[in-house]
Structure 1
Amino acid sequence: MNYLKRSRLYLVHKKGQSLLMLLIMSAILVFVLSGIIIQNAAITATNNVTKSAGTTISVAANRDKMFSQMRSSTAKTKTLTTPTVANTKIKKAGSLSTVAYYNITNTASVNASSFDAVSTTTGTSSMPSGGPGGGGTTASSGDITINGVSSTAHTTAFTSNQAKLVSGRNITASDANTKNVVIEKELATDNSVKVGDTITVKTTASSAKKIKLKVVGIYKAKTSSTSMPGNDPSNTIYTSYTLPASISGTVGKSSSVTYTLENSAKEKATTKQIKQIIANSSFSVSSDDASYQQLLQPMKNVQAFAKKIVWLVAIAGTIILGLIIILSVRNRQREIGVLVSLGESKLHIIGQLFAELFTILIGAMVVALLLGSFVGNKVGNQLLAQQQTTSVSNTGSTSGAPTGTPGGGNMPAGKTGGTLRGGMTNQATTSAANKKALKTLNTSITPSSVIKLGGMGLVIIALAVCLAAVSILRLRPKDILIGE
């Protein structure tokens, strides 16, 4: 009788045993499939993270170089001069295919003329206007900070929700070479200024010059805290990067720029290209992928855990099935002895066992395909939630130290557009990462998942049969039939 036919008859005759094997193998394959689809979902999510995390590369003044030049100066009055780079080079680097967008930053200090600046209880501002992020040399500080950018929507303050537009529009690239501005809500309210109005400021130079500015938008700073008395964040006015450059006498040049990448995985290569374009020892080029890493780590953990599930379940399943088959072979020794004594090949008997398990495997795969997606979705999203909670907790415990100098003028490389206050960089990064964090895994069964499941199933039953084959090959029909 054909061994394939015998395997079918055995499964029909031993319904209870066949059902038990089906349940065991179904459980094994359900967890194997869950691991596979969780791993696939984590890989897909990881690829999406690289495109959405917003890794930045910043070009900013090299402070060590600035102080070195100031100390070596022979002038009686030593001033700290902020270097600038031509906008043509900045735009050339911005045209790289790996760059999604870039934000040029210049700052200048002026005095309010047609309106009153918001004052704090005590103190006056003494921050020099020529810090990193500003243009020109030091001068007496005014009560208003002009923060020139390519786009307010792409500054750290706005992307981290520390500032939010409440009226009018944002500053965009089309505002270059204009005097359009976006002012803070408290400053606007105190001076009864609304969108469309014109305000006037004065430069801080000895020959003060008045500049009329058109208000095109009003933003709200979410906190009024400031680390510098007399320097209220409401006194920060956003405008195009060209206006501070004209005030400081550096037209056509800028002091810093931040490039946001299309794909965070291209960070190293893009940094190298930008360094080649902007080759200047007075500037440092550095990247900030903290948000990317914070988003990526939970995905890596989920992916690694899913891989462990697949291997652990596969190994455990092979051992369990192998032990079951070995016990089954012991109970079927007389049957096997009769078959061998009748001339049946031991390889055919092993083939019969494989055929029996293969038939059960087909049924178990159907059950796994029905339940695997549900189990994988529950397990995957629970694991993702746990990993993200752990990641945020770890980040929060290490981001308490403030970064940047008071007033947001001295920003660390990797940030752009200026912050409204010092000490907000790490919090902003965490907030941005939390905003983009993946809340759920998109687990689904794909054709590749089914192929992997089938392959894993075949490997499991093949190894299980191989374990049992050792005892079958050692059987001697004569010893079996005489009861030894």
Structure 2
Amino acid sequence: MDYVKRAFLYLRRRIGKTLLLVLVMTAILTFMLAGLIIQNAALTAVNNSKNAVGTTVTLSANRAKLFQQNQGSASSSTQTPPTGGFRMNEAIIGLNTAKKIASLENVAAYQITASASVNASSFTAVLSSNSNSNGGFGRMQGTDSGDISVSGLSSTAANSNFKNKNYVMKKGRGITSSDANTNNVIIEKVLASNNHINVGDTIKVKDSSSNVKSLKVVGIYQAKTSTDQTFGQTQDPSNTIFSSYTLASSLAGDAGKVSNVVYTLTDSSKEKAFVKSAKKIISGNLQLTTSDQIYEMLTSSVKSIESIASKIVWIVGIAGIAILTLILILMVRERRHEIGILMSLGEEKAKIIGQIFVETISVLVISLCFAGVFGSFFGNSIGQQLISQQNTSQQSLRSGFGGPGGGNSNQAGPNSNTAGSGSPSNSRALGGQMRQFGTAVTGNSQLNKLSTHVSIGTLLELGAFGLVIVAIATLLGAIPIISLKPKRILISE
């Protein structure tokens, strides 16, 4: 074990070169650790998102088919289409159809949703700070949108915004299945405060036919988000009222029909069998979207970040091998006389290489400690920058397909369904899906930020990578030693 002692003596004697090697190794390991942290955080976010989505099948309108029908109607009609374009009604799912599918085997629960746009009658809607007072872009032309959005559902407990704590109940109770066929609603805290509305009060709105409807407030919730965008229109979330899906359908003039049904399955392995049975019940104007498709949309940005982090690890690893190999080759050249003396005294070449390996391993251990301190900081900074860029790109993509997700309106935008717009129908269909699942995308906290921290497992993984780099670099750097002859070294010296 003399070569081990010689390794530590050399590190102490050449403290300057040792510190330089520690600095280089720390830089390599820090960037590798940052990549590993981001990669592991992305994998955790993907797995958590998959668990959050669960095994679900969504029944919704087939937007591509409806768009084609609207185009056919426009081309066959001699009348000039309205200036604002066509209104594509997505509330075409009959309750009987929805409940018939719910009665199939393997359904654990289901959530029915519908939406309506109404105007406040006995109270005043909250004005968004981003709204245009001139009316030029404050509301889209050619639509019958009101100043209040009514989001109908089976229960608020199953809604993604309430599950993710983006919306929190403050007074009263939420909407439950017992509120079906009632006028019970819950309103946002700011809207309630501005109009002095309390739980138990009655408010009035004008529906799509300008009929005044009385609604009973059974709860008040608080929205943590400040704005909501629907088809490029900025809308204050305080103007969203939650009710049973039956009330929303009635207010929209679509009584007995809803726009979306999400079925949660008991056994994920029987998802294909369920879809096959459900397709026999629905018409061609409806479509079924599986949880795998939703999961892919939820995790597309995070998977991209995972890929970038993986490339960082590989690039830094390869660069680290190259840099360390070059440094070790230079070190060997400087130590030719020392190596020649050891070899002339009968020391084996393997032990000389082992001495260099021990020296490098010692530097690796010290560098791991420093990398653990700096890696978390760099990993968090790089990770948040990447997720911000990916979220911006994904938001732009959703906007390009007809508006961001999370909108509650059931009206189509002025350009989304106009004949001759030039956009393919499958893009319209994708836009509809992105809007349907946009709330889940933006509401999932795992996707809005990466939980980047240094764990023991990550440090062990980094240590394994570092050990491989050191081993390869040592072997490559020791090539000159293998070819050296003691006599030639000492004569040349």
TM-score norm. by structure 1 comes to 0.63
Q: Which residue of 1 aligns with 2:450?
A: 441
Distance 2:313 2:151 in 1: 54
8 Å Cα contact 2:186-2:218 kept in structure 1: yes
Mapping for residues 33-112 of structure 1, pairs under 5 Å: 33-52=33-52, 57-60=57-60, 84=94, 85=96, 89-92=100-103, 96=107, 101-103=110-112
CA distance in structure 1 between the partners assigned to 2:373 and 2:49 by the alignment: 30
Task: Output aligned runs, 1:170-209, within 5 Å.
Answer: 171-176=175-180, 180=184, 195=200
The whole-number CA distance in structure 2 between the counterparts of 1:147 and 1:37 is 40
Matched residue type, 2:28? I
Q: What amino acid does structure 2 have at the position aligned with 1:2?
A: D
Q: Counterparts in 2 of 1:242-391, with a 5 A limit? A: 257-259=260-262, 270=271, 272-277=273-278, 279-282=280-283, 284-287=286-289, 293=296, 295-391=298-394
Cα distance change, pair 195–428 in 1 and its aligned pair in 2 (3 A)? farther
Distance between the aligned counterparts of 1:351 and 1:262, measured in 2? 59
Among 478, 484, 493, the alignment partner of 1:469 is 478
| Distance in structure 2 (CA, Å) of the matches to 1:146 and 1:305 | 41
Deviation at 1:385, TM superposition (A): 2.0
The CA RMSD measured in Å over matched residues stands at 5.8
| CA contact 2:37–2:458 (8 Å) conserved in 1 | yes
Structure 1 Cα separation of the partners of residues 369 and 151 of structure 2: 63
The C-alpha deviation readout for 1:330-354, integer Å capped at 9, x for no partner, is 1111221221122111111111111
Instruction: State the distance in 2 between where 1:365 and 1:198 align.
Output: 64
Aligned to 1:120: none
Asked if the contact 2:301–2:387 (Cα under 8 Å) also holds between the matched residues in 1, the reply is: yes
The superposition leaves residues 259-282 of structure 1 with CA deviations (integer Å, 9 ceiling, x where unpaired) of 16699xx7x964652442563253
Distance 1:9 1:237 in 2: 75
Change (3 A) 1:292 1:219: farther
Judge conservation of contact 2:105–2:274 (CA < 8 Å) in 1.
no
What SS does the corresponding residue of 1:384 show, helix, strand or coil? Answer: helix
Distance verdict in 2 for CA 1:359–1:155, change over 3 Å: closer
Larger radius of gyration: 1
Mapped partners of 2:150, 2:320: distance in 1: 67
* Partner in structure 2 of residue 456 of structure 1: 465
Query: How far does residue 240 in structure 1 lie from its aligned partner after superposition?
Result: 4.6
Structure 1 residue 44, shift from structure 2 partner = 1.1
State the 1:431 CA deviation: 6.2
Q: CA deviation at 1:387?
A: 2.5
**Distance change (3 Å), C-alpha of 1:431 and 1:474:** same
Contact kept, 8 Å, 1:395 with 1:430, in 2: the verdict is no
Residue 409 (structure 1) shift: 7.5
Which SS does the other structure have where 1:365 is aligned?
A: helix
Question: Matched residue of 2:112: which SS?
Answer: strand
Residues in 2 aligned to 1:274 and 1:89: alpha-carbon distance in whole angstroms: 13
- Any conservation in 2 of the 1:29–1:453 contact (CA below 8 Å)? yes
The answer on whether the counterparts of 1:354 and 1:465 sit within 8 Å (CA) in structure 2 is: yes
Asked if 2 retains the 8 angstrom alpha-carbon contact of 1:291 and 1:432, the reply is no
Contact conserved, 1:399 with 1:427, CA < 8 A, in 2? no
What are structure 1's unaligned runs of at least 5 residues? 68-81, 108-114, 117-126, 128-144, 205-211, 228-235, 413-422
Is this contact kept in 1: 2:160–2:439, CA < 8 A? no
Q: Is the 8 A contact 2:155 2:176 kept in 1?
A: yes
Quick one: percent identity of the two aligned structures? 38
SS in 2 for 1:482: helix
Q: Which digits, 9 at most, give the CA deviation of each residue in 1:64-90, with x for residues without a partner?
A: 79x9xxxxxxxxxxxxxx784356534
Distance 1:147 1:331, change over 3 A: closer
- Compute the displacement of 1:19 (Å): 1.4
Give the letter aligned to residue 32 of structure 1: M
Please report how far the alpha carbon of residue 482 of structure 1 lies from its aligned counterpart in structure 2 after TM superposition. Answer: 1.6
- The alpha-carbon deviation at position 215 of structure 1 amounts to 3.1
Structure 2: give runs of 5+ residues left out of the alignment. Answer: 70-91, 123-142, 144-148, 232-239, 417-430
SS at match of 2:107: coil
Partners of 1:90 and 1:278 within 8 A in 2: no
* Distance in 1 of aligned mates of 2:328 and 2:161: 65
Instruction: Please tell me whether the aligned partners of residues 112 and 245 of structure 2 are also in contact (alpha carbons under 8 angstroms).
Output: no
Matched residue type, 1:91:
A
Cα 1:273/1:3, change in 2 over 3 Å: same
CA contact (8 A) 1:150 1:173 kept: yes
- Contact 1:292 / 1:433 at 8 angstroms: preserved in 2? no
C-alpha distance in 1 between matches for 2:23 and 2:62: 67
Q: What do residues 351-389 of structure 1 show as CA deviations (whole Å, max 9, x unaligned)?
A: 111111111111111111222212222222222222222
Quote how far apart the aligned CAs of 1:172 are: 2.2
Provide the aligned length of Structure 1 versus Structure 2. Answer: 411
Deviation at residue 149 of structure 1 after TM alignment = 4.7
CA distance in 1, matches of 2:242, 2:399: 32
Q: Distance in 2 between matches of 1:164 and 1:29?
A: 43
Pair 327,239 (structure 1): closer, same or farther in 2 beyond 3 Å: closer
Deviation at 1:40, TM superposition (A): 0.9
- 1:75 equivalent in structure 2: none
Name the counterpart of 1:124: none
Q: Note the C-alpha offset of 1:314.
A: 1.2
What does residue range 388-467 of structure 1 map to in structure 2 within 5 Å?
A: 388-392=391-395, 394-400=396-402, 408=410, 430=438, 433-436=441-444, 438-467=447-476
Equivalent residues in 2 for 1:110-259, closer than 5 Å? 149-151=153-155, 171-176=175-180, 180=184, 195=200, 215-216=216-217, 240=244, 257-259=260-262
**In structure 2, do the counterparts of structure 1 residues 22 and 258 end up closer, same or farther at CA, with 3 Å as the change threshold?**
same
Amino acid at match of 1:175: D
Q: For the Cα contact (< 8 Å) 1:38–1:303, is it kept in 2?
A: yes
Change (3 A) 1:409 1:381: closer
Aligned to 1:140: none
Using the alignment, how far apart are the partners of 2:469 and 2:160 within structure 1?
Answer: 53
* Alpha-carbon distance in structure 2 between the residues aligned to 1:297 and 1:434: 13
Superposition deviation, residue 258 in structure 1: 1.1
